[in-house]
Structure 1
Amino acid sequence: MAKFKKLPKNSVKLLKRTLKYFAPYKMSILISLIAMAVVAATTGASAYLIKPALDDIFINKNSEYLMLIPFAYFLLVLAKGAGRYSQNYFMTFCGLKVLEQLRNELFDKIICLPLKFYEEQQVGMLMSRVVNDVAEIRGSLPAVVKGIRQFLTMVALLFVVFYQDPYLATWAVLVLPLALFPFIHFGRKLRKLGKKNQVLISAMTIFLQEKFSGIRVVKAFANEEGEKAGFRVENSRIARLALKQTIVGQMSSPIMELIGATGIGLVIWYGGSQVIAGQQTAGTFFSFVAALVMLYDPVKELTSANNSLQKALAGAERVFEILDSPEIVVEQDGTQILEEVHEVSFNDVTFSYDKTGQPALKNININIKEGEKVAIVGPSGAGKTTFVNLVPRFYEQQEGQILINGIDSRSLTLKSLRKNVAIVSQDAFLFDTTIADNIAYSSEGCSKEAIENAAKAAFAHEFISEFPNGYDTVVGERGVRLSGGQKQRLTIARALLKDAPLLILDEATSALDSESEKVVQQALENLMKDRTSLVIAHRLSTIITADRILVMKNGAVVDEGTHESLLANSSLYQRLYTLQFESHEELL
């Protein structure tokens, strides 16, 4: 599997890159910041209220304060609750919108990447990047805002403690710099563990996607126990790493409490002696202690916010590896629009899947006229599928030109080019939706009548009508609820409805039994009528009537002509024909 080029890990740059996605929601962020300031101010005010509560109510017996202070405390709690709710709501709103945008951007890029990219990656890994990694980024701004809120709360509480007793406050906060150790040390560790966790979740997604997709093979080999053991290994790796994350994440809290206890212990010793000596009132002292206790809490929460931020940045690294990598580029589009296909020409085309490997196609020179039916035959690995895959630009040739109506195919827009090409391959892929939706895939706005006409021409209408829900029948993942012949007829109906002038058939009947092949072949004849057709044939009997047959070997066209001329003059075609028909006679 190809590795992504890793981007620089500079946390500040990565954070700036991530926070740019929150820029469109400035108003929501502003409201959240105002709410955050309210929470910080009310926290400090709550600590300050302890002084008049003790001194004026419990010591001085002031009945007026007995009415005012509880009411003031109630208002502070109400304001604090409203502020916290507003902040959390608007931060969640921003996070969800960014989550939506990032997933859209990531999917938009991945879906437009060339086929070569998909051949080098695992589907489960891509799914994990879109679902899991992006979800982690959602917490980046809330983590930053939470950190700012805790900082402002610290400022408000510091004001209270310094206002009450500057000398004692100075000694109390001397221990705060020690809090930087868990903040930085555990933050770095969590970043690394977060990245590992995303990799392991991706591996788990790959494992599940592969095993569930290949469930028939698993059951055919009675290997359920083996797969259970394999899953337990993957699951155990995630559990062990999650435990490490918990240990690292929770270690910061007791350390912060120990640092706080040291400061509070000094305050109680010194402040208590002052109260005993009559140099300070009990209310002032307890208000000071309350503010100090509250002060250490946001310091702890800062560490928690940093932990969340590091997890978010770990997810961001993996997402931006795809979005920002200069090596992962979408298919290059042309500018000219293709309206119809009159001629397809290969001029000295050479193509290799690997730049350092042997060419899969070598110096191909072929001209295909409008309405011509051209068949392609040859042994396995001859380059037949590669040849037809270059026409819709699933791959780009390294040398030569492919001209459509005399225009280099690379100059055409991909959409207009591919809209003019219909493909039916041996892999009859259907989406997990209704039969009607599968037939009408990408054919927007087509009528029910048009769908049924396409199905009738593909000899599919009869079996579709037998289902209780008819055209509204859901076919299951990859069409699992249908037989091979039924799936293939639906893909032919889909191609018929597309009504493209250029048709590519890539061994469309090779995986079918004789009875199904006969029906599908009739449907294919309807499909090829009045169209330019490129047909890769596994069974030579299906292409005897082709206008021209290309015989390929080792990436080159070694012979071409009609069936009769090739039987007379092409030794390779003669051998293929003899092997196939002798085998057929033996079966009879």
Structure 2
Amino acid sequence: MLAWMGTFVRICRYISKNWPLFLVSVICIFISAIVSVQIPLLTRAAIDNVIIPLAESRLEIELGKSTLLILVLEITGFTVVVGLFSFIQRYANTYFSQKVVYDIRNDVFVSLQDQSFAFYDKTHTGQLLSKVTTDMDRIRRFLGFQLTFLMTSIVLLVVTLYTMFSINTMLTLSLLPIMPCIFATFYSFGKKIRPLFTQMREQYGSLTSVLHEAITGIRVVRAFAQEDFERKKFTSKNDKYFQTSLASARIRAFYIPLVGFLIGLGTIIIFYRGGSEVINGTLTIGDLVAFNAYLAMMIMPMRFFGMFISGYHRTMAAGHRIFEVMDTETEIKEKPDSLTLPKLKGHVKFENVSFSYEKGRPTLKNITFEAKLKETVALLGATGSGKSTIIRLIPRFYDVSSGKITIDGYDVRNVKLKSLREQIGIVAQETFLFSMTIKENIAYGKPEAKMDEVVAAAKAAKAHEFISALPRGYDSKVGERGATLSGGQRQRIAIARALLMNPRILILDDSTSSVDVETEYEIQQALHTLLKNRTAFVITQRVSTIRNADKIIVLEKGEIVEEGVHETLMAKKGIYCQIYQTLYETQKPVVETTYERASSKQEEAEK
């Protein structure tokens, strides 16, 4: 048990924050134990002073009946008192355990919110979900039942032993040799079960992770007919968890009956020695009945010690996993003297920036460029060339390995993260919507936004028309991850969400890659107007977007190989020219249709 002492101490710190509830629970336990041990004494009095004398005609019937009635009423009263305090104790303890877990859960969530992207790159979602749900529930059950029952057992054991010694010292002493055997059994049990429970928590997390991936990626699984592969992967993880569970069950199946056998020996000793003393006249029948009742009261606590040790190790394994998350230091930290950014203008500079996700494998090498005020910078390159990494460094999702990034002259590492990120609008390649209404999703970055602001942002993103056509309009729920909407609709809501914040810097990661020709044209027109007053970074393979950019940066293997405007780069006949011609050929029908629509609208406007 000492192996988990650090984890237990940390849980105790949370307990100490809610000590009044814990104290109420302890007081109720103590009172219930004191009152409970009185009931066998009253039973003894009823047998020795009423029932036996009446049976032997040594007591008047009327006096005996009245005395017995008084004793029965006293027993009933004590039973009611025990029940009342047990109710108070259980309510207080349930409140207490829920409050402790509430505090831990909040701290874990805050820790997860503070973690850098690098943490999530290395951690499986299923593992995290297992820690925040299953492991947390394990702690709640331990505090709500097992810890309280342990205290109840200890108090009841001490009070019961004291009462037994007061009745018959020698008979009580004859039971004591069994106690070390029982506790030695508990110790051996805990030593063997602890590593298995640690394995089980880790394996359960892996199992949850595989299940989570299979469910969230079910469309991909079915599209590639990989159901059998996923089934085998899940079965493999499930089998490991099953085998470890069986190993722990075998240990419990051996030790718990062994404890029961040792307790049974105590019952044999009571009846043999106690019965002999009754025959010899040194012990009354009432004493023997009371003694047997006290032994029964002791059996429950002693049996529970085995279950407690099992539960303790399960809980400490769960707590260890939870505190691992809380103890993980975020790689992105604010300096103590970090500044709050004023309202940005949008002048962004990369100065000899290098970056690696893993040591020894550079993703960016000596990147230097400048995005002036209100410029649109298009980033172009093959997959893995470093485009997405560049835009992740601007809001400081990661820290550069060397060099620096400045915005309006401020090094992003020297400013408060909130003041930086709230002035940067981002439309990610994988559009994520929350399971809320369309209005709430658009206003996510600005919850205080008025309805007319939300509508204006939606109109600018060309989303208002399809939103208005929905049965509940802006109050329509989008489902999990926006499942009720098409890809193009999700992207337009994401654009509206970014535009509502009116950021000075806008990041668009291939934001029009999944929409049809008409939608793309509408979005391009909206963005063309909106980007005039802000600095924008665009990752795209859409030729219409690339051609209109103020600056084009071509990346290859983490390095800038070409930089300039469309006409200049085309004249060089280099990599950009090759990429553009390839993209143009594949998108020619789209480009021509887009320009036809633009020309048509211009002619209509002139008329």
Please indicate the TM-score interval, normalised by the length of the shorter structure: over 0.9
Which residue is equivalent to 1:307? 310
* Counterpart AA for 1:50: T
Q: Give the superposition deviation at 1:448.
A: 0.9
Q: Would you say the 8 A contact 1:53–1:69 is kept in 2?
A: yes
> Does residue 366 of structure 1 match 2:366?
no
Q: Once structures 1 and 2 are overlaid, which stretch shifts more, 217-226 or 400-409? A: 217-226
11, 16, 21: which is aligned to 1:28?
21
CA-to-partner distance for each residue in 1:95-153, whole Å, 9 max, x for gaps?
A: 10111111111111112111111111111111111111122122344433322221111
User: Counterparts in 2 of 1:219-258, with a 5 A limit?
Assistant: 219-224=222-227, 227-228=230-231, 230-249=233-252, 251-258=254-261
On the 8 A contact 2:182/2:262 being kept in 1, the answer is: yes
Q: How does 1:536-551 map to 2 (within 5 A)?
A: 536-551=539-554
* Contact 1:112–1:330 under 8 Å retained in 2: no
**Structure 1 residue 371 displacement after superposition:** 1.1
Q: Match of 1:332?
A: 333
For residues 2-60 of structure 1, the C-alpha deviation after alignment (integer angstroms, 9 at most, x for no partner) is xxxxxx97322221111110112111111111111112112221222232121111111
Give 1:35's aligned amino acid: C
Of 490-499 and 185-194, more deviation after overlay is shown by 185-194
The answer as to whether partners of 1:384 and 1:536 remain within 8 angstroms in 2 is: yes
Q: Does 1:451 align with 2:489?
A: no
Q: Tell me which amino acid in the other structure corresponds to 1:136.
A: R
Report Cα offsets for 1:64-85 as digits up to 9, x if no partner: 4312211111112112112222
- Gap change, CA 1:585 and 1:69, over 3 Å in 2: closer
Query: Are the counterparts in 1 of residues 97 and 143 from structure 2 also a CA contact under 8 Å?
Result: yes
Secondary structure of 1:380's counterpart equals coil
In structure 2, give the amino acid aligned to 1:351: F
2:424–2:504 CA contact under 8 A, matched in 1: yes
Distance 1:250 1:231 in 2: 28
Match of 2:179 among 164, 176, 179: 176
1:295 to 295, 298, 307: 298
SS in 2 for 1:146: helix
**Contact 1:164 1:284 (C-alpha < 8 Å) held by counterparts:** yes
1:525 to 505, 508, 528: 528
Residue correspondence of structure 1 range 162-201 to structure 2 within 5 A: 162-201=165-204
Three-state SS of the structure 1 residue aligned to 2:538 is strand
Equivalent position of 1:3 in the other structure: none
Contact map agreement 1:450 1:497 (CA 8 A) in 2 = yes
Cα RMSD over matched residues?
Answer: 2.2
Tell me the TM-score normalised to structure 1 length. 0.93
Q: Distance in 1 between matches of 2:419 and 2:207?
A: 39
Q: Would the alpha carbon gap of residues 85 and 162 (structure 1) be closer, same or farther in structure 2, given more than 3 Å must change?
A: same
In the aligned structure 2, how far is the partner of 1:224 from the partner of 1:344?
47
Number of residue pairs matched? Answer: 578
| Corresponding position: 1:424 with 2:427 | yes
State the secondary structure of the residue aligned to 2:78. Answer: helix
| Residue number in structure 2 paired with 1:567 | 570
Answer yes or no: is 1:42 the counterpart of 2:35: yes
Matched to 2:291, the amino acid is F
- In the alignment, is residue 80 of structure 1 matched against residue 92 of structure 2? no
Deviation at 1:512, TM superposition (A): 3.2
Q: Is the Cα contact below 8 Å between 2:22 and 2:92 reproduced in 1?
A: yes
The superposition leaves residues 239-286 of structure 1 with CA deviations (integer Å, 9 ceiling, x where unpaired) of 554454445445444222211221221222222122222232222222
Distance 1:269 1:352 in 2: 77
Structure 1 residue 297: Cα displacement: 2.5
* 1: CA distance, partners of 2:81 / 2:305: 22
Aligned equivalents of 2:260, 2:47: Cα separation in 1: 27
Change (3 A) 1:586 1:508: closer
Is contact 2:18–2:100 with CA below 8 Å preserved after alignment? no
- Which shifted more, 274-283 or 511-520? 511-520
8 Å contact kept, 1:18–1:140: no
SS in 2 for 1:396: coil
Structure 1 unaligned blocks of 5 or more: 1-7
| Corresponding residue for residue 552 of structure 1 | 555
Letter in 2 for 1:501: R
- Provide the identity percentage: 34
Partner of 1:52: 45
Q: Matches of residues 4-153 of structure 1 in structure 2 within 5 Å? A: 10-61=3-54, 62=59, 63=64, 64-142=66-144, 143-153=146-156
Deviation per CA, 1:436-477: give whole Å up to 9, x if none: 111111202111111111111111111111110111111122
Shift in CA distance, 330/72, structure 1 to aligned 2, threshold 3 Å: farther
**Contact 1:348–1:363 (8 Å) recurs in 2:** yes
Q: Is contact 2:334-2:415 (8 Å) kept?
A: yes
* Superposed CA offset, 1:329-388 (max 9, x none): 26212521122333111111111111221x222212212211112222223322222112
Query: CA–CA distance in 1 between the matches of 2:308 and 2:377?
Result: 65
Map of 2:513 onto structure 1: 510
Q: Distance in 2 between matches of 1:222 and 1:554?
A: 33
2:499 corresponds to: 496
2:476 to 465, 473, 476: 473
What code does the residue aligned with 1:411 have? N
Task: Work out the CA distance in 2 between the residues paired with 1:530 and 1:418.
Answer: 18
How far the C-alpha of 1:230 sits from its partner, in A, is: 4.7
Displacement of 1:226 in angstroms is 5.2
Q: Does the 8 Å CA contact 1:489/1:523 hold for their aligned counterparts?
A: no
User: Aligned equivalents of 2:135 and 2:228: distance in 1?
Assistant: 31
| Residue number in structure 1 paired with 2:289 | 286
What amino acid is the match of 1:259?
L
Amino acid at match of 2:208: T
Task: Tell me, in whole angstroms, the C-alpha distance in 2 between the residues paired with 1:226 and 1:387.
Answer: 36
Q: Which amino acid aligns with 2:204?
A: I
* Structure 2 unaligned regions, length at least 5: 593-607
Query: Pick from 335, 343, 354: which aligns with 1:350?
Result: 354
